[in-house]
Structure 1
Amino acid sequence: MPRSPFSIRGRSRGFTMIEMIVVIVLIGIVASVVAFSFARSLDSAKVQAASRDLVAGLRYTRGQAIVKGEQKVLMLDLEKMTWQAPGRSEKELPKDMILRLTTAQKELTSESSGGIRFFPDGSSTGGNIAVVLGEREWRINVGWLTGEITLDKPESER
């Protein structure tokens, strides 16, 4: 009698319980790594967006000082985690972010607020603002002589 290609001879082979558990554990590990990586990149994007908004606010303030021929100040409230450019509405940082301000002593209006002043010639009182979320810190530097505004990324972002 000829053999049918569909006949099963002997014991059928499948996956053991241990093999299935190992595969499920490996899938869980990979999913955890992907989720952690995604969360870190999302945090990084939030800090980067907040920093760039603040840089835009500083550049706007400098531009207004030059165009209007008068001193203009970008104000920061470190307690409420907000900042405000002249003539613009107050902007709030996303939750869990922290602002740190280093500026001229005369620009500090209280222990938790202060500003960076720009003059009609484009110069400023200078200083820097750190935007921090967890271990990520983006630093915005303002040159006192030129009023130039630069954004320094953390080493891990370069």
Structure 2
Amino acid sequence: MPTSRTETEAGFTLLELLVVLVILALSATAVMSIGQSSLESARARSFLVEAEALFRDARTQAIETRSPTAVTIDVKARRLSLAGGRSLVMPGGLSLDARIAVPKDGGLPAVRFFPSGASTGGELAFGFRGRTYDLRINWLTGRADVQAL
């Protein structure tokens, strides 16, 4: 049995506990939204690095096999594909503006690499959160590199 009034009033009320839980939930939501934003940025950066590597691999493959190789750009499907099966899908939030030659037969646009190491060249401008990243393929050397603008 309680011997004084202070022992019966010790502890927290249900209202106080609910207020603390609401504050914790709001804090967790804020942290999660920051984490989600960072995850999207990491996916976009990773895609750009992988896209650059895909074009470099296509050039290497053309030189090694002594036959032309192409990387097709399917804007509707949001996909870059190397002849032979390897492909990359663009993550959400990333936009694409491709400035490359379009084939006369109406097929998908592609950057072609030749056994000499040269290519048809082109520029892929990726937009992400107000910034533009250019993936440029030099027509003479076939070199691919990403630049932030």
1:15 alignment counterpart: 12
Structure 1 partner of 2:62: 65
Q: Which of 52, 71, 74 in structure 1 is aligned with 2:71? A: 74
Look up the match of 1:150.
145
Is the counterpart of residue 89 in structure 1 residue 107 in structure 2?
A: no
CA RMSD of aligned residues (A): 3.3
Compute the displacement of 1:95 (Å): 6.2
Q: Does 1:114 align with 2:73?
A: no
Classify 1:50/1:95 alpha carbon distance in 2 versus 1 (closer, same or farther; 3 Å): closer
State percent identity of aligned pairs: 25
- 1:32 Cα deviation after fit: 0.8
Q: Of the candidates 116, 124, 128, which is equivalent to residue 119 of structure 2?
A: 124
In the TM superposition, what is the alpha-carbon distance from 1:90 to its structure 2 partner?
Answer: 5.6
CA displacement 1:66-98 (0-9 Å, x = unmatched): 223443321111122222212x11625156454
Runs (5+) with no aligned partner, structure 1: 1-6
Distance 2:3 2:125 in 1: 71
Q: How far apart, in 1, do the equivalents of 2:118 and 2:71 lie?
A: 14
> What is the TM-score with the length of structure 2 in the denominator?
0.71
Kindly indicate whether residue 50 of structure 2 is the aligned counterpart of residue 56 of structure 1: no
Q: Counterpart of 1:113 in 2: which secondary structure? A: coil
Alignment correspondent of 1:100: 97
Is 1:40 matched up with 2:37?
yes
**Rounded Cα–Cα distance in structure 2 between residues aligned with 1:112 and 1:20:** 64
Q: Which runs of 5+ in 2 are unaligned?
A: none
After superposition, the Cα gap between the structure-2 partners of 1:128 and 1:113, relative to the gap in structure 1 and judged at 3 Å, is: same
What is the distance in 1 between the residues matched to 2:132 and 2:40?
A: 11
Amino acid at match of 2:136: N
Q: 1:14 to 1:30 in 2, by over 3 A?
A: same
**Residue identity in the other structure for 2:87:** K
Q: Distance in 2 between matches of 1:27 and 1:52?
A: 38
